[in-house]
Structure 1
Amino acid sequence: MDNLDELDKTILRILQKDSKKTAKEIAITLNLTISPVYERIRRLENQGFIKKYVAILDKKLINRSVTCLCQVSMRYHTEAFIEKFEQQIQDLDEVQECYHMAGQVDFILKINVKSLEAYHEFVRYKLSKIENIGVLNSTFALKEIKHTSEYYI
């Protein structure tokens, strides 16, 4: 982050809010010409600061409004079991995020599904098929207070 100046940070903030902004639109906002803005964006992409551009969907409109945070504790903590779990989670489309944790819980999964019944089916027919899961503890979001994909920079 040391190699980012304030202009780079401003460009990143603009693109986090709306990745469809063109170099021309950003240049106008910053009172600059298009070329240096375009070159900075390309450099930020090439250096890996910008990983990809995505569309953030409305989970209610796509019928995935039930958000569950599922805590997973493993029975055995060998490297092989952990790696296998991490690989198998990649194949579960319902899992939006997965974090390997320190403490009593080994993993936290963020899962979005259309209903409690759909979550039950997911656990019963997919998640429970993963070897070495010892304990599952599911909590459900009643209301989404804040959801952002933006990082403070």
Structure 2
Amino acid sequence: MAVLYERLRATHLGCPVIYVSTGAWNVAPTLSRFLTRNFYPPGPLLLTDWGPTHDRWFRSGRLHKEQSLGRIAAEFPQLKWLLVGDDGQHDEELYGDFLRNHPDNVAAVAIRQLSSSEAVFAGGRSRGEEHERTTRVPWLYAPDGAGLWDQLVAKGLVE
């Protein structure tokens, strides 16, 4: 996946990379080291708070991602995004909602398909609904960044 991000940055000079994760802020140093050591491009980490809220024991990672995407759309209304996620949590559904609310701000959605063991740790896989029937925005699926890159090239989104 790191190579995918670097290729994207090389073909779209100056494009921002923003990492939206359900990870808690207390893991930010570890996550930053992981990203750097594995050659992911630098970018802000939008992580969540950890711990109870007034109505639950744990904060909602889904709500955090939803709010973060909404904030990104509000702060950068002129940008067109490539949304990259995986099929392990709620990324497909969240990106579908974002696309419906901001159709002019999404170039494509790229979903990495988790391996069986990764899916166990992620709590399962999403349903993998058919999205391209309801929108002109391409939805790409592959088990790795190389496969996603090939599809981006095939769709003419990168050269």
Normalising by structure 1, report the TM-score: 0.22
TM-score for the superposition, normalised by structure 2: 0.22
Larger Rg over CA atoms: 1
Structure number with the higher helix fraction is: 2
